[in-house]
Structure 1
Amino acid sequence: MLTKKVTIGLENGLQARPAALFVQNANLYQATLTLEKDGHMANVKSIMGVMSMAPARGEQLILTAEGKDERMALEALASFIENK
């Protein structure tokens, strides 16, 4: 299992369209992926889970990946959140 603290760099946070793209990217990987914010956990492969957290620009979250392709998934998704 790998974890990384990420800061939302997306201008509008992970709302609507960016959240949908984030979830689509997450579904390319076999690893189990979660986001944690203020003790609340969400499945990264669920649009409702991600949007329910309402991640805004500048907020910090914990991204966790566990499984066969965890390193690749964690790097790609962290990059998406931080640099897009």
Structure 2
Amino acid sequence: MTSVTVELLNEAGLHARPADTFIRTAQKFKSDIKIVKDSIKVDGKSILGLLTLGATKGTMITIEAEGEDEKAAIDKLRELVENKFGEDE
């Protein structure tokens, strides 16, 4: 398993549009992807799972991936979060 902890930098956090972008990216990978916020762990390929986290700007989340392409998945998803999901503030 590979994991990385990142801070949500975009103004609205993990609301509907960034969550959709996240899952669409995550679904490109074969690995099992989980998102952890505090003690809550959800499926990184589930829009409802991500939205239930209520993750706002400044929240630290851990992205976990396990499978044959876990390193590539972590790298791409970390980049997505660090680039504010492509949103212009």
Asked if these proteins are the same fold (TM beyond 0.5), I'd say yes
Taking the TM superposition and a 5 Å limit, the aligned residue runs for 1:27-42 are 27-42=27-42
The runs of 4+ residues in structure 1 deviating greater than 4 Å are none
Read off the aligned partner of 1:19 and give its amino acid letter. A
* Contiguous gaps of at least 5 residues in structure 2: 85-89
RMSD, matched Cα: 0.8
Instruction: State the partner residue of 2:87.
Output: none
Taking the TM superposition and a 5 Å limit, the aligned residue runs for 1:1-16 are 1-16=1-16
* Contiguous gaps of at least 5 residues in structure 1: none
- Secondary structure at the aligned position of 1:61 is classed as strand
Instruction: State the partner residue of 2:45.
Output: 45
Provide the TM-score with structure 1 as the length reference: 0.95
State the distance in 2 between where 1:77 and 1:10 align: 14
- Secondary structure at the aligned position of 2:9 is classed as coil
- Cα shift at 1:17: 0.9
Provide the TM-score with structure 2 as the length reference: 0.90
Instruction: State the partner residue of 1:74.
Output: 74
Question: CA offsets, 1:13-71, max 9 Å, x none?
Answer: 11011111111110000000001111000100000000000111111011101001000
Identity of aligned residues (%): 33
1:63 aligns with 2:56: no
State the distance in 2 between where 1:10 and 1:83 align: 8
